[in-house]
Amino acid sequence: MTDPETVEQVARLVRNAERILVFTGAGISTGSGIPDFRGPQGVWKRKQPVYFQDFVASVEARTEHWDQKLEGYEAFRDAKPNAAHEALVAIERAGKLHLLVTQNIDGLHHAAGHDPDRVVELHGTNRAVECIRCGHVIEEIGPIFERFRETRTPPRCERETAGGGLCGGLLKTATISFGQAMPEEPMRRSLQAAEEADLVIAIGSTLSVQPAALVPKVAAEHAPYVIINRGETDQDALATVRVEDDAVSFLPRVVQAALE
């Protein structure tokens, strides 16, 4: 367990801050039963990710995409926010959260009760399905997975077009696939928040995935930087305070010391 002096050191930074940028990765959600896709047991150790251009080009790749998503579907659906997610909501309610930027696609920050406007999901979300032709977003995803499980046919968009027909575009989980361009707006918002932040806290990320890891790095150029992670990160040398601990055990102690 991290020593009380370090808890107090981070609590003091939180107490003195007014515009905190929080950046999260898979490590914050492992305590909620979400598998770390890059970790030793991760799905990518066993399977190749489906690249976007293959998804568009071939029905086999689309079937593989939906198979992989189906494998994780129940774990994602049943996962609940943990004490670390809840601690970040407490920071927001204290009026100190400027923006929460996450690499995670599990939707647990939203589920924890954040103001949706304060959360940016850089890599999209598994909790919605999107038509890659018309942009239609479907949040009730259970029936789509059930139908795929039964028919093994990758789903298509059934939105009615102005002409009275159905769109028919390819449906995909609302995540950013390998080979798929990241939407510009979430990254632009995140970098702007990084410029404005007066404290940056990175949690549960190896800070190795680009361009996402640029977000805390930009903030760290002018603001104190706290990194909480089990295992080395690519930005350890930039940290004001480096905490080798699980966010689930560390963050609630910080929030209690800082806000109560």
Continuous segment of H or E residues that includes residue 184: helix 184-196
202 binds Zn ion (CB under 5 A): no
Sheet holding 119-121, edge to edge: 119-121, 97-102, 20-24, 199-203, 225-228, 241-243
d(CA 52, CA 32): 28
181 burial (CB, 10 Å; 0-12 / 13-18 / 19+) is exposed
d(CA 33, CA 49): 21
> Which part of the chain contacts Zn ion (CB under 5 A), choosing from 30-38, 94-102, 125-133, 236-244?
125-133
Binding mask 41-80 for Zn ion (x = CB under 5 A): ----------------------------------------
The one catalytic residue in 98, 114, 123, 136 is 123
170 binds Zn ion (CB under 5 A): no
38 binds Zn ion (CB under 5 A): no
Determine whether 123 is an active site residue. yes
Q: Which of 167, 209, 238, 257 binds Zn ion (CB under 5 A)?
A: 167
Q: How far is CA 211 from CA 53, 208, 218, 226, 242, in A?
A: 20, 9, 11, 19, 22
> Which part of the chain contacts Zn ion (CB under 5 A), choosing from 79-87, 158-166, 188-196, 215-223?
158-166
169 binds Zn ion (CB under 5 A): yes
Give the 3-state DSSP-derived string for 5-19, with helices as H, strands as E and coil as C: HHHHHHHHHHHHCCC
> Which part of the chain contacts Zn ion (CB under 5 A), choosing from 157-165, 204-212, 217-225, 232-240?
157-165
Closer by beta carbon to Zn ion, 146 or else 158: 158
131 binds Zn ion (CB under 5 A): yes
Q: Give the interface with Zn ion as residue ranges (CB under 5 A).
A: 131, 133-134, 136, 157, 159, 167, 169
